[in-house]
Structure 1
């Protein structure tokens, strides 16, 4: 809990400087908040949080190098006392639930009202979980599905993409995946590009982490 006699400290993470500037002005206008750092991508975010140890991080998802989901995972591991509030345009189920699995305490869509952002910031710092109306309805929708469907951590992937991701998560390289699935290496590379986009990751290592967190890659590599 933040002592009542000091402001809530915030780090802003977004790859657009104008967005960060607007958020800084907005958050500091609330009273009781101070922005202690900014970052333009996930890798910078992890470093900044480790340096400044803020109460809360306002995290974008779609960023270059290291995306917001992977950055959230690293921050929660390194600085568990810091809350992460995602503020993003992305509202796909796999992105939202990926952020939740990574340890985000809240998820708002960009365009949320000022009052909603302030309430969410205070809530996650207090240890609550909070979601914007559009996200909350998606969460409820997923938990209202058939259990077998609900257990699917990557609903946006095709069956073939899931096969590729399974083998990637096992540590297999593209040539081996191509042989195992009876496709050309270039086709494997095309599937991987699609998978990276759908999982909002930028490299193979981040995709492996997401896949293993979702239960893939438990078979033995060949």
Structure 2
């Protein structure tokens, strides 16, 4: 069976790579096509093989996983990146997203989260481990209310879908509840991100929460 997505693993610990590879080998839609022990080695691999996803540790010496994400976005913008980290600090997560990471997965996560993250990035969505996403959203909830006058006017349908996204509902669930196709929901989400000037779903949620867009009226 042809995998939906190919993966490059980047981690400086051989046993960690072996463990992650073992988990991915159990998933029919994904296949590890190469491994690297550090970001420099990863870039050399990418000169030969360009995967759909790079799954990388964040702490690997002076040339970090964040540096790798930055360089990937410059040279291989079509490649999605998943950060694997022990650190859940808001600053590190924010920087990872700013550099272009598609997902931020904590090493303490349950194995099923890896599959969820992989599927999310294949759908061109952003995934954060629950502990991380809760911290990020709480940060904006605690922050002083922003000037809502600068928030662009949305159509009734856009507002409805945005509220459902804030409630952590996925494309399939939104499509079912609103009797729309998944393609239509995805199109609305893309229009929302373009209108609000954000690049990913996490930023969309954070901006909505900051401006008081909740899940219920």
TM over 0.5: yes
Does the CA contact (< 8 Å) of 2:10 and 2:54 recur in 1? yes
> What does residue 83 of structure 1 align with?
80
> What does residue 17 of structure 2 align with?
20
In structure 2, the CA distance between the partners of 1:145 and 1:78, relative to structure 1 (3 Å rule), is farther
Paired with 2:124 and 2:70, the residues of 1 have a C-alpha distance of 17
Paired with 2:47 and 2:133, the residues of 1 have a C-alpha distance of 30
| Runs of 5+ unmatched residues, structure 1 | 149-222
Matches within 5 A, 1:1-222: 5-146=2-143
**TM-score normalised to the size of structure 1?**
0.61
**TM-score normalised to the size of structure 2?**
0.62
Paired with 2:139 and 2:44, the residues of 1 have a C-alpha distance of 34
Q: Could you say which structure has the greater relative contact order, defined with CA pairs below 8 angstroms and 6 or more residues apart?
A: 1
SS state of the match for residue 30, structure 1?
Answer: coil
| Runs of 5+ unmatched residues, structure 2 | 146-217
Paired with 1:67 and 1:36, the residues of 2 have a C-alpha distance of 22
Q: How many residues align?
A: 145
Paired with 2:41 and 2:130, the residues of 1 have a C-alpha distance of 30
Offset from partner CA, 1:166-188 (integer Å, 9 cap, x none): xxxxxxxxxxxxxxxxxxxxxxx
